[in-house]
Amino acid sequence: MAEKIEIPITGMNCAACAARIERELNKLGGVKEARVNFPLKKAEVLLGDNTDLKNIISVIREIGYDVDIERDITLRAKREEKELLRDFIITACLTVPIMIFSMWPILPYNNWILLILTIPVEFYFGLRFHRPAISNLKHLNADMNTLISLGTISAFFYSLLVVLFPQKIASIGIKPHVYFDSCSMIIAIVLLGRFFESKAKTRTYSAIKLLYELSPNECTVVKEGKEIRIDTGSLEVGDIVIIRPGEKVPADGVVIEGSSYVDESMITGEGLPSSKTTGDEVIAGTLNGKGSLLIRVTRIGKDTVLSKIIRLVEEAQFTKAPVQRLADRVASIFVPVVILISIITCVFWLVYGDEPKITNSLLSSVSVLIIACPCALGLATPTAIMVSTGIAAKLGILIKNAASVELSSKAKYILFDKTGTLTKGQIELSEIKPFLQFTERDVLKIAYSLERLSEHPFADALRKKAEETDIETLNVKTFQAVPGKGVKGIIEGNTYYLGNMSFYEEINGRLEDDVKKHYIELSQMGGSPVLLWYEDVVMGILNFKDKIREESQYVVSALKASGIEPVMITGDIMETAKAISDNVSIDRYYYRVLPDQKANIVEDYKKKGITLMVGDGINDAPSLVTAHVGIAMGKGTDIAIESADVVLMKGQLSKLLTFLKLSRKTLKIIKQNLFWAFIYNIIGIPVAAGVLYPHFGIRLEPMFGAIAMTISSVSVVTNSLHLKMFKE
């Protein structure tokens, strides 16, 4: 029987690493399927019969990676982040004096001091690049690690020759110059880039950990007539659990006694809490209102709806299309070409070069490798992203990674959650329609007097309205709440009712046509109308609704004008969905959508083009991770914010347009940076190889490679600073 296992992996630096591990694992006999998740640093392996786990681990280690026994991904991520920061700080502390003594060789035995300072940088902190580079060469692969390793190792050993045999080098007409500063600077810069990348990934792990923390650690069960406090993990199907006011539901279950309103916005996305009474289902992690509930547990552990949401978030990390940086893609072609040129150069000088042939061939081939390793390549993306994120932060936008910038600049679809995104996510009393001789004030006074004793969310909206208009409250006797229908109470001798149409018809029969028509119209316009009446006299209708953001229509129109199709997804009913979409001019919308269905819709759109998802709730987390780029509203839940790639910090939807504009500008700068990172070096490679030597006697010493690195680095930084001129 097939068994699925998860194996935490360390040492992966990019999506290419994950792809290679996945490829090797799928070659193993007995492995039915293997998928490697780079963001979560783990492999998910479906094993067949008689498969030895030790073989799988040995294959992972053989190709240059390792298996981590630490199961908490958040702790692993923080540990990796801490190690990278430590390595960078120590490397930087060693690099500063190396740079100073390289530019101003004022000390006795200066080159020997540089050698001693460079050894720990190159062969301890540089192991992060050398190990995967060696593994890549074994399997005839190449990536940025290969380029960094070859460039720094070549510079180091060339410099070592200069330190050991300075007269020999000078005798063939080459200035005995060392390049220890190039070695240490390249390693320090790339370590800094890796640290920022690791810091951004930690947010993904934190989001998943927050999801696990939604369920309460303890709950109260009833056994043999006694209330016992136990760990939620000890619950079993069939247990009877008491959920008191303000407590979270520990497991999926069915209400067997009591009534209350439960906030299920994390699942459905609807702003209004759901009425729960005997026979209704409740979901783990949702928040109980002011009533008490007695439930029978029906699903626990991995079978609960909450656990399915967590799995969706993790699964989305596997299926999310990895977008490698342009530098990695270029390196996969550039590195093999450079190595080939270096080998050809070595052979050419051995056959046709001047004496001493071995020395000349060695120095020429090493010159090619040194010049081919552009220090600016490590700066190309990080500098642009750092400047861009700094500008974005000032504008109220948090950008977490470079991939989100690249993808967003090519967006074709933007999917919006409704509640809290296109709308404010706050219920308000939008309209009071009085009938007969009654005034709005009469209707508000009676309704608020009744509702203020209720736990219903409409009570807050009524209270705000009553405070605005200075409405006094009346004394209510024999108050009673009827879950899912409304409330009733006696005021000055009359029994008043406040509730939905079905509540009225249950008591008085058919509702008058005029009142019914108005009630239905309000419902179709996206409102939640309630009736106020006594006996069979309807005093008026109060309409509650989630207010649309003033900027929503403008944002949607701007997206359409730029060629991006906006789509709305909501857990609300069709009437509400249609009303909101009509108001903001969105042509396509989906209603009554649960989290797993929402993620499926996002997947469908991803097949058609670059898809962004904008949301603010826990229920949006799977779709935010599934989308090419997830964008969270800053005033949304912590889980949505942690799951997203981009956060609109002030909750202003118009900042979405600013982000899209900035992403296009940033991607343009990154591409320009990559050009400057390579151009000087590409020009220098054929000169270093000796193309000009036969006719002009010109050969490029390794020293000029360092100059090319400096010029290209300055060009990259200067170009990135152009982003500071960005305006909304």
pLDDT tens track for 200-239: 556 555 655 666 667 788 899 988 888 888 888 888 889 9
Instruction: Name the E strands within 132-286.
Output: 218-223, 226-231, 240-243, 252-258, 260-263, 274-276, 281-282
Tell me the pLDDT tens digit for each residue of 393-409: 778 787 776 678 878 88
Task: Determine the average pLDDT of the residues in 578-592.
Answer: 89
Distance, CA of 715 to CA of 673 (rounded, Å) = 8
- Please give the Cα distance from 417 to 597 (Å, whole number): 13
**CA-based torsion, 566, 567, 570, 575: positive or negative:** positive
Reported as a pLDDT band with limits 50, 70 and 90, residue 169 is confident
pLDDT > 70: what percent of the chain?
Answer: 82
- Let me know if 578 is exposed, middle or buried by CB neighbors in 10 A (0-12, 13-18, 19+): middle
* Residue 574 vs residue 435, higher pLDDT: 435
Per-residue pLDDT tens over the stretch 320-348: 434 345 555 666 677 788 888 888 988 88
Q: Is the pLDDT of residue 50 over 80?
A: no
Is residue 319 predicted with pLDDT exceeding 50?
A: no
For residue 511, what is the DSSP state?
P
Q: Which CATH superfamily is domain 396-423+549-660 in?
A: HAD superfamily/HAD-like (3.40.50.1000)
Q: What is the mean pLDDT of the chain?
A: 80
Q: What integer pLDDT is reported at residue 375 of this predicted model?
A: 56
List the end-to-end C-alpha distance of the chain, in Å, as a whole number: 58
Please say if the pLDDT value at position 515 is more than 80.
yes
Residue 260 is predicted with a pLDDT of 85
pLDDT at 701: 62
> Region 551-557: what's the mean pLDDT?
92
DSSP symbols for 432-484: EEE-TT--HHHHHHHHHHHHTTS-STHHHHHHHHHHHTTPPP---EEEEEETT
Q: Confirm whether 218-303 and 396-423+549-660 share one CATH topology.
A: no
Phi then psi for residue 267, to 5 deg, are -100, -50
pLDDT at position 456 is: 67
- Domain locations in the chain as residue ranges: 3-71, 75-215+306-395+665-728, 218-303, 396-423+549-660, 424-547
Of the listed ranges 439-448, 457-466, 514-523, the one predicted with least confidence: 457-466
**DSSP 8-state symbol, 564:** P
Band the pLDDT of 43: cuts 50, 70, 90: confident
Q: At residue 172, does pLDDT exceed 80?
A: no
Nearest to 116 by CA among 145, 77, 159: 159
The number of C-alpha atoms within 13 Å of 239 and in the hemisphere containing its C-beta is 25
Whether 520 shows a pLDDT value over 60: the answer reads: yes
Torsion of CA 462, 464, 466, 468, to 10 degrees: -150
- Phi/psi at 18 (5° precision): -60, -40
Average pLDDT of 603-630? Answer: 87
CA angle 545, 460, 536 (to 5 degrees): 70
Reply yes or no: is the peptide bond before residue 356 cis, omega within 30 of 0. yes
User: 3-71 architecture in CATH?
Assistant: 2-Layer Sandwich (3.30)
Burial 472-504 (b: 16+ CB within 10 A, else e): eeeebeeeebebbbbbbbebeeeebbbbbbebb
pLDDT at position 541 over 90: yes
Q: What percent of the chain has pLDDT over 90?
A: 17
Q: How confident is the model at residue 721 (pLDDT cuts 50, 70, 90)?
A: confident
Q: Is the pLDDT of residue 665 over 60?
A: yes
Q: Return the structure tokens found at 687.
A: 């000169």
Q: Which amino acid is at 192?
A: L
* Residue 488 structure tokens: 């009733």
Instruction: Give 424 or 533, the one with higher predicted confidence.
Output: 533
Confidence check: pLDDT of 18 > 70:
yes
User: What pLDDT is attached to residue 385?
Assistant: 74
Q: Which of the following CATH numbers is that of domain 424-547: 3.30.70.60, 3.40.50.1100, 3.40.190.10, 3.40.1110.10?
A: 3.40.1110.10
Residue 429 confidence (pLDDT) above 70: yes
Q: d(Cα 335, Cα 16) in Å, to the nearest integer?
A: 15
Query: Nearest-CA neighbor of 35 among 50, 51, 47, 53?
Result: 47
**Structural tokens at position 362:** 């060695």
Domain 218-303 has CATH 1.10.150.650: no
Q: Which of 448, 487, 491 is nearest to 469 (CA)?
A: 448
With CA atoms as reference, report the closest residue to 206 among 76, 351, 101, 28: 76
Q: Which among 44-53, 126-135, 327-336 has the top mean pLDDT?
A: 126-135
Neighbours of 190 (CB within 10 A): 26
Q: In Å, how far are 214, 389, 618 from 595, measured between CA atoms? A: 16, 30, 9
Answer whether residue 613 shows pLDDT above 70.
Answer: yes
Residues that are catalytic: 417
Over residues 231-268, the pLDDT tens digits come to 888 888 899 999 988 888 988 899 998 888 887 766 65
Q: Tell me whether strands 413-417 and 565-569 are parallel, antiparallel or unpaired.
A: parallel
- pLDDT at residue number 616: 80
Q: What CA–CA distance (Å, rounded) separates 388 from 92?
A: 24
pLDDT of residue 710: 60
282 exposed, middle or buried (CB, 10 Å; 0-12, 13-18, 19+)? buried
- Provide mean pLDDT across the span 551-566: 93
3-12, 26-35, 171-180, 486-495: range with highest mean pLDDT: 486-495
Q: Which residues contact 699 (CB under 8 A, 6 or more apart)?
A: 364, 687, 688, 690, 692, 693
In terms of pTM, does the model score above 0.75?
A: no
pLDDT surpasses 80 at 103: yes
Per-residue pLDDT, averaged over 688-716, amounts to 70
Q: What is the pLDDT of residue 26?
A: 84
Task: Say if residue 691 is exposed, middle or buried (CB neighbours under 10 Å; 0-12, 13-18, 19+).
Answer: middle
Mean pLDDT of 275-303: 85
- Reported as a pLDDT band with limits 50, 70 and 90, residue 72 is low
